[in-house]
Structure 1
């Protein structure tokens, strides 16, 4: 793996190296500069631990209020006026809901403020609360009104997810301003350290900012890696922690820091109140697929196989069919209006049919509203040299084949709405990889062919992460990430983010 430098130089290509001794150590409490050029501070009096405690308290209070509001809405919607027993139940639900979320470990810091695990535990809590009410109702032989339950529980989950989403936006804004960031000392091989630093700098919402690196020098002394100061080799991690004031030490791919040596390092960091995280070298794998299995005194990392079939896949299929049908019915007036608009603004059919490749390599006919002139396919060859695509996909920002009405449809992705019928038929999913053309699949590498393990989606990570602005490698990485780590919670998160992406219209042409 090449060691990439944003300024065009790698560690192997440094013409002017600066001895480490020439780079003075960072004093604890100083304000280092991150690889993005920002001054990295602790936000004055806002420490990372303080911020996460606030997040926990706000999440607990928000969950309580969300359940209280949901219970009262269900009470008035079902009975029209407060009823004695159901009023008591509505006031009890918030306490039960908070206890259930706590039981699902939904208030643990490692799940808060990043990733989909926080939302997944809320969804699990909704299922647990539904089962708990059913069991209690049966045990007391006092049937709770189904209308009340089927309003209160989904509303509780929905309101809670909205609260958590607002909290997530709040903490992201603070971190984007450089507040309450955790300083990270990255330790390991130079090439892997560079990769980790790049990822942390590209995703500051996680609240981790690299402030120092410990890499094997191999006779070459350098002062910085990716604009992050090199403060020694892996043998002086503890000194580097003192120099940088690090809150976290991240150990990545270093053979000398494993086994007993890593154990002793964890003890030493524990005494200093510094967290230790270890990268196993596995990339693009979501948390639910990873688990630790202690065997014979060893902590073994177990990697679960992606869910390609079984109960979870049947659940996804049922979710797609049910929600797809509901969305199709709700969208009928919009579909009719768009169909009339297409027919009145350009000659030709309303729908555009194109062969795409679905799960397992099976071909199907994908539907779209026609947004181009009728002979668009015949004119494509003459425009290939002007492509703004990513090297694999053909795209033009100013495509002369697009009609005026079609440009509006494409701007807000309204031309994709007929694919709801593909979802209902089972050819596509609401969320999944982009549906490829047969000629694209013919040129797939072994890695790219893995995209075909799940049904293509009406939307996906590619849709909410840049759409046509992404290069092929980035598009493929996002599709493979989804293929290996999909879950209902991730699907719901992507559907929510899709609404914002469609409104903004970024990357759509």
Structure 2
């Protein structure tokens, strides 16, 4: 399994549930103890019913795409047969109500990879079955169906996340996690659970040495030693155990796992391979021992050529299709007052070369000069700078930013070869100057219009997520990963755009009563 994009091996999957919503990890206590604590009794809650809803949304997407793409030119009975087979195959592949393959959290891109595999399998099944049971289907139409289905499933999952965040409490049950470990790997796991936006976890505390621990774990309460893991799990009402396996010897780890096998908990052992693509890892054996086999990757010249070809063709096509939208945005910015339509800014590209990035202007003309006065309001960590309600952003600019329309001029940067459609966020010179250690490796690739950080953690203020996701992309780049990121970008942008329109409507409605009330007070005076 994966926790975010980190490799975690799930050893048992019994009775507990997950909630794939965007909240922060919670810690029940902030004062570590140096003795065996007494924990309150707590039990497991009811299963999370929203998984069934998620599966029904998936199957609805399969049906809708099937009717829309495969039903053309077919009779009603034939269309029902085709869609019925597609839904049946998806039902077998996804499983209604079946637990997701990731127990603690799943990155959107990892999820999209799985959905792409489901779409391909459904398309292949239609081609295989049509020879005997279905009316003839053209290969091109089935291919289009599979591609559209990936987007349909991804959008459906995005909608499910939005609904899940608004479910009443009795529909959900929080994950109570016990972290086992004292070292840097355990700290990395704790930070991942704390800062990754796709997790919703309550960290009950840690198990291990009471005093000899990594500094990053000192804010977690100590629950006891590994010898008491079973009693601690029961007393804490834990639903999941996360073990930093690299810091435990085989005897200690084996003893702990045997103790926990009879408990109704998810047991997740970190493989110590943070930042490695989970698809490159397979479980294997050496005699009677368990091993993790890592498949090596070698980037080929033809893949880079294909990426560049996709950049050129894709950016040219999007520029052509979006030209009316680009014209409307330019007119709107010009009508909003004096100042240029485009904002030009120096950014750092591949191999540390600087280039001029193009964007639609979304701020007031003196925004750069006013930045220093807003430093105290910065909501980001590290060298990044961002304010959620930046006073420099114009009214139109808020919508352009939320819908990512402001970034359409960057397609010109892509055509010039200064950027790619997919890649790390182009850094400012002052940001790049503050990068240390391995983060400098992000300059090995072209910056992108969209990227892993943009779709996974754009609203996460943590610099840890920024660093982790950028390095993950650099270390594991592939054409498949680029494709998945582009597919995942669609529902993310749609959600942000709709949310922006809703916010604008709420502000407009909210202003109306205040305006009337003000008028009444004026008249009364």
TM over 0.5: yes
SS of 2:243 mapped into structure 1: strand
Deviation (angstroms), 1:504: 4.9
User: Does structure 1 retain, via aligned residues, the 8 Å contact 2:158–2:492?
Assistant: no
Deviations 1:437-491 (A, max 9, x none): 4565455434221112332122345546776984655543443344345623344
CA distance 1:74–1:283, shift in 2 (3 Å): closer
CA distance 1:259–1:66, shift in 2 (3 Å): same
Question: Could you say which residue in structure 2 is the equivalent of 1:432?
Answer: 423
Deviates more, 1:155-164 or 1:467-476: 467-476
Flag structure 2 segments of 5+ consecutive residues without an equivalent: 1-25, 502-525
Confirm or deny that 1:130 pairs with 2:123.
yes
Equivalent residue runs for 1:384-403 within 5 Å: 384=372, 387=375, 392=383
Confirm or deny that 1:497 pairs with 2:492.
yes
CA distance 1:443–1:299, shift in 2 (3 Å): same
Confirm or deny that 1:27 pairs with 2:41.
yes
Confirm or deny that 1:92 pairs with 2:85.
yes
Flag structure 1 segments of 5+ consecutive residues without an equivalent: 12-17, 30-41
Question: Could you say which residue in structure 2 is the equivalent of 1:185?
Answer: 178
Confirm or deny that 1:70 pairs with 2:65.
yes
Question: Could you say which residue in structure 2 is the equivalent of 1:36?
Answer: none
User: Does structure 2 retain, via aligned residues, the 8 Å contact 1:252–1:279?
Assistant: yes
Distance in 2, Cα, partners of 1:439 & 1:341: 31
Deviates more, 1:146-155 or 1:122-131: 146-155
Distance in 1, Cα, partners of 2:79 & 2:460: 52
CA distance 1:304–1:454, shift in 2 (3 Å): farther
Equivalent residue runs for 1:244-323 within 5 Å: 244-252=236-244, 255=247, 257-303=248-294, 317=308, 320-323=311-314
User: Does structure 1 retain, via aligned residues, the 8 Å contact 2:422–2:451?
Assistant: yes
Deviates more, 1:497-506 or 1:474-483: 497-506
SS of 1:226 mapped into structure 2: coil
Deviation (angstroms), 1:352: 3.9
Equivalent residue runs for 1:22-421 within 5 Å: 23-29=37-43, 42-43=44-45, 46=46, 50-51=47-48, 54=49, 57-76=52-71, 78-79=72-73, 82=75, 85-101=78-94, 109-111=100-102, 114-116=106-108, 117-134=110-127, 144-145=137-138, 148-150=141-143, 152-173=145-166, 179-189=172-182, 196-197=189-190, 199-202=192-195, 206-218=199-211, 226=219, 228=221, 230-252=222-244, 255=247, 257-303=248-294, 317=308, 320-343=311-334, 350-370=341-361, 380=369, 384=372, 387=375, 392=383, 409=400, 413-421=404-412
Deviation (angstroms), 1:123: 0.6
TM-score (norm 1): 0.72
Distance in 1, Cα, partners of 2:401 & 2:93: 44
Distance in 1, Cα, partners of 2:132 & 2:306: 29
SS of 2:261 mapped into structure 1: helix
Deviation (angstroms), 1:435: 1.0
User: Does structure 2 retain, via aligned residues, the 8 Å contact 1:175–1:207?
Assistant: no
Distance in 2, Cα, partners of 1:136 & 1:189: 54
Aligned length: 464
Deviation (angstroms), 1:207: 4.9
Distance in 1, Cα, partners of 2:245 & 2:177: 16
Distance in 2, Cα, partners of 1:67 & 1:458: 29
Distance in 2, Cα, partners of 1:467 & 1:214: 33
Deviates more, 1:301-310 or 1:83-92: 301-310
